[in-house]
Structure 1
Amino acid sequence: MSKYIKEIVIGIGVAALLFLVYIGVNVLPFLTIAAFVGVFFYFSRPKGSGAMTAGVDRRTKAKVPTYLTFDDIGGQDRAKNELKEALDFLIKQEEIKKFGIRPLKGILLEGPPGTGKTLMAKAAAQHTNSVFLSASGSEFVEMYVGVGASRIRDLFKDARTRAQKENKDSAIIFIDEIDVIGGKRDGGGQHREYDQTLNQLLTEMDGIHTQETPRILLMAATNRKEMLDSALLRPGRFDRHISVDLPDKKGRLHILNLHAKNKPLAMNVDLEKVAEESFNFSGAQLESLMNEAAVYAMREESPYIETRHMSAAVDKVMMGERSDRESSKAERERVALHELGHAIMAEVTTPGSVAQVSLRPRGQALGYVRHNPSDDQYLYTKQELENRMMVALGGAVAEEMFYGNRSTGSRNDFDQVLHMVKMMMDSGLTNLGIIDRDMVTKDELMKENQRIVEQQTSRTREILERHRDVFQQSLSILTKEEELSGTEFRSLFKQINQRTTA
């Protein structure tokens, strides 16, 4: 209908101009004014849309989600309970008045990528029966001064309008990647476009009146909370900061079960074991894992998703797709000895921890050992860190034992070792004791670092020398099979050791 009204107005305007020309009136001033007005509205509108309000309306309408509930989100029980408690301020309005509580104005969800922050914002709208509008921080960044601030104003205005139109008491505005517009201001006196947008957001949040209906709640997500401006983080703006962390084993199992509902799993698939193998996976990675396992099953034209498909999917999500690199026999043997060094040290220090030994290239790795931690672990003793260091050093030491030198394949292993040494120093687990790095010279740090690495390298060499027969007798099997499961490797390890000690 609006299209026809626009055409009618334009037609009347043209007819009026023609009539003025016909009666001898000078229409040049009218045309000049019309041109200036047209240019002004053209540059004021958001990119790729008509008027500002219409642009925001179309954008937010396109992003209204299919609502989901908190039960559809796995692995975040603590964060969900904390968010539900905060959302009660929108629901239990009579109790709020009774105790004189000020309703929340903002909730900040912070945590690693893929942990479900956006999903929790959508579930919050369903939980509170609110209008839901979403936007990304990048949508407010423009080269024209004032456009971002204008879009912030229109977003809040649109939220109120929609809530009134849909007869709802509240609206939730969700801004993803808020660090794009909410970053710390430099304080150098420069008036940047980002600062104008942030200032407008702060003003709008201050204007969210506690007794106003419909109520507006701002939710935002970020992976980098430390980059946000302090004015945005203070109480009265973002009143609640909820951490959405990587799921633990129980949470990973819940997420896997959610994504397995529409997939034909074989009877031998143990999702609890997959949850153990996927330590430090985010919810998005777990969804990708289930999807990739289904892809592998479809490629093989298998009616069910088997355990081998799940194992291959874990490897793909963790390290990437298999590579088509063709390596020489000598290189394959070096890689095999390198990976056997890792596997033997893992089996000696933590029996039963090896999940797979593979020579099949994935991503940038020519081979790999996948470990299978039985329980999630967040604290480590000095002994445990030293054991992990020896596992990481096992590959380089094995190359030295059989070739007399190392290769570039140990680069990532050494990065892990240095990270663990740093962790030991910062935790007061070295001969330096409890230290402040700024109060210790670089020479002292380097000497302690060298002492620890040399000590663990020596211990690793001692252990691997005692298992030299395992290298020699399992090398041909691994290069032929290209892949050994943890069970196969342990069986081979025990058989060779029994023959050696007999």
Structure 2
Amino acid sequence: MSKYGKEMTIGAIPVVLVFLFYIGVNIIPILLMLIIGGSMFYMIRTRGITTGSGGGGSARKARTRQPAYMTFDDIGGQDHAKGELKESLDFLIRADDIKQLGIRPLKGILLTGPPGTGKTLMAKAAAHYTNSVFVSASGSEFVEMYVGVGASRVRDLFKDARARAQKENKPSAIVFIDEIDVIGGQRQGGQHREYDQTLNQLLTEMDGIHTDEEPRLLIMAATNRKEMLDSALLRPGRFDRHIQVDLPDKKGRMHILNIHAKNKPLAADAQLEQVAEQTFGFSGAQLESVMNEAAIYAFREGEANIRQAHMAQAIDKVMMGERSDRETTLEERERVAYHELGHAIVAELVKPGTVSQVALSPRGQALGYVRHNPPQDQYLHTKRYIEERIMIALGGSVAEEMFYGERSTGSRGDFDQALQMVATMVDSGLTGLGIVDRSIVTKQELMKENAAILDGLTRQTRELLESRRHAFTESLAILLQEETLSGDRFRDILSDSLERHSA
């Protein structure tokens, strides 16, 4: 009901009561029912929440949420982050012991990292680990057009955390603010904003935390944009610990997959280790989605167990979206097939064994795709490694030029990737420009270096594909008929065709 609808209803009630009294109706039972009903409605609305005062006479409820039961064992792939967080939480649990060494307990812990890596889950697990009251809010809940509303909600949040800890007889309370960059962004000089008042109030509340008082208070916050936060928040004495929650490595991905596979029936051919290998760069949330989508595919096909094929389909869906029903002409299908085979052949030649699947089925915005299977997680890249990745990206357009004499718009995404990798090379000092800052290099110099790199790698790519031209013909018929070509079968075709034409 809108604000005006509520006001009209409240105003109409006394008018109706006066009218009923005037015509001789006994209104005492009606008044009793209204009082009882209003009391019950008020109790339901206010249970478990704290009223926050707002400017201009408006008020909003500052929400506090008790999390679902969560332990650190339920979080996979973050062994280092969990270990560092547990050490920080031990200062809260063993407050008496650390006094002997003169250690000042921490006031705040900031969790940073990409989305979906488990920052919120770790905050919930921290509350269980420390037997603390858990009060959480999102940064957007403090944003309001009226001056002073956000600051008031910050005060209410801390006040409610202390009150709940005392009421539940807990030794400590954890206040968790998700997406803290919404209210904790860098302040602009000479400009007075509602965001600044909210941030100033948060800083004041953190300064007012005394670590030797009961109940003890610990502030936890999460963000994936740490560089946007105000320096006053990041200094020691406020957020004392900054814990990086990164994307999981292969071992971590395997742990996460095992957690989410516990309640799912897996077929004999299901290999979670293979899924972990094929999901480099996936977050914990994406891995959970892979297992869930695999179960959905099994349910859709009426099977009792989840097979490896279901998990392969799930990986494709999480990476590129659901398979679409887009109709294409035979000419387009052939062009797309040549394009994807160009990517796959270059990938196998520069990094043998890395192609997992070549597909001609449309997914998302793509008419076809090649799924690569990185042999191992790699975080440091050499110049040659980046050049090989650029050649793989250029393989599709070069293949189109070989068989059609021209490119198509299907190479646009490939060129974007290639340009980004060239920019990485420039920033890393891996080009002929040497160690430079791109901001002080002229556009002409950058364009000249960019063209030299891409032209040279395009020539190398064309030479590779021309030497394996026969592999296109033998793979094309299978891909057009079956729409998918597994990596092992593709490698067999590539090897057999090479032997026949070299004999």
- Normalised by the length of structure 2, the TM-score is 0.88
Structure 2 residue identity aligned to 1:135? A
1:96-139 Cα deviation digits (max 9, x unpaired): 21111111111000111000000000000011111101111111
Structure 2 residue identity aligned to 1:52? G
Report what 1:140 is aligned to.
142
Does the 8 A contact of 1:276 with 1:374 survive in 2? yes
CA distance in 2, matches of 1:142, 1:426: 40
Structure 2 residue identity aligned to 1:100? G
1:366-389 Cα deviation digits (max 9, x unpaired): 000000001001111111111111
Structure 1 unaligned residues grouped into runs of 5+: 1-13, 19-44
Alignment of 1:20-99 (within 5 A): 51-52=51-52, 59-60=63-64, 63-99=65-101
- Structure 2 SS opposite 1:191: coil
CA distance in 1, matches of 2:446, 2:334: 37
Specify which of 101, 104, 107 is matched with residue 106 of structure 2. 104
CA distance in 2, matches of 1:100, 1:233: 23
- Structure 1 SS opposite 2:378: coil
Runs of 4+ in 1 over 4 A off after TM superposition: 55-58
1:391-412 Cα deviation digits (max 9, x unpaired): 1110000000011100011111
Does the 8 A contact of 2:50 with 2:62 survive in 1? no
Deviation at 1:184, TM superposition (A): 1.0
CA distance in 1, matches of 2:138, 2:272: 35
Report what 1:206 is aligned to.
207
Does the 8 A contact of 2:158 with 2:205 survive in 1? yes
Alignment of 1:218-233 (within 5 A): 218-233=219-234
Report what 2:314 is aligned to.
313
Structure 1 residue identity aligned to 2:74? D
Report what 1:255 is aligned to.
256
Report what 1:497 is aligned to.
498
Structure 2 unaligned residues grouped into runs of 5+: 1-13, 19-44, 54-58
Report what 1:131 is aligned to.
133
Does the 8 A contact of 1:108 with 1:221 survive in 2? yes
Deviation at 1:57, TM superposition (A): 7.9
Structure 1 residue identity aligned to 2:76? G
Report what 1:323 is aligned to.
324
Report what 2:472 is aligned to.
471
CA distance in 2, matches of 1:417, 1:111: 26
CA distance in 1, matches of 2:460, 2:443: 26
Deviation at 1:58, TM superposition (A): 7.8
CA distance in 2, matches of 1:358, 1:494: 20
Specify which of 161, 164, 187 is matched with residue 163 of structure 2. 161
CA distance in 1, matches of 2:74, 2:401: 52
- Structure 2 SS opposite 1:182: coil
Report what 1:29 is aligned to.
none
Structure 1 residue identity aligned to 2:68? T
Structure 2 residue identity aligned to 1:423? T
- Structure 1 SS opposite 2:238: coil
Residue 180 to residue 58, structure 1, CA distance change in 2 (3 Å)? closer
- Normalised by the length of structure 1, the TM-score is 0.88
- Structure 2 SS opposite 1:313: helix
Structure 2 residue identity aligned to 1:211? D
Does the 8 A contact of 1:294 with 1:309 survive in 2? yes
Does the 8 A contact of 2:50 with 2:160 survive in 1? no
CA distance in 1, matches of 2:231, 2:424: 29
Deviation at 1:59, TM superposition (A): 2.7
Number of residue pairs aligned between Structure 1 and Structure 2: 456
1:127-181 Cα deviation digits (max 9, x unpaired): 1111101111111112222111111111111111111111111100000011111
Deviation at 1:51, TM superposition (A): 4.0
Specify which of 163, 179, 203 is matched with residue 181 of structure 2. 179
1:303-331 Cα deviation digits (max 9, x unpaired): 10001000000000000000110000000
CA distance in 1, matches of 2:60, 2:156: 7
Instruction: Determine if the alignment matches structure 1 residue 151 to structure 2 residue 150.
Output: no
Report what 1:41 is aligned to.
none
Structure 2 residue identity aligned to 1:207? G
CA distance in 2, matches of 1:369, 1:58: 48
Does the 8 A contact of 1:125 with 1:172 survive in 2? yes
Deviates more, 1:359-368 or 1:93-102: 93-102
Instruction: Determine if the alignment matches structure 1 residue 396 to structure 2 residue 405.
Output: no
- Structure 1 SS opposite 2:110: strand
Deviation at 1:50, TM superposition (A): 8.5
1:79-110 Cα deviation digits (max 9, x unpaired): 00110111111011122211111111110001
Does the 8 A contact of 1:56 with 1:155 survive in 2? no
Does the 8 A contact of 2:62 with 2:157 survive in 1? no
CA distance in 2, matches of 1:238, 1:381: 36
Does the 8 A contact of 1:57 with 1:158 survive in 2? no
Report what 2:272 is aligned to.
271
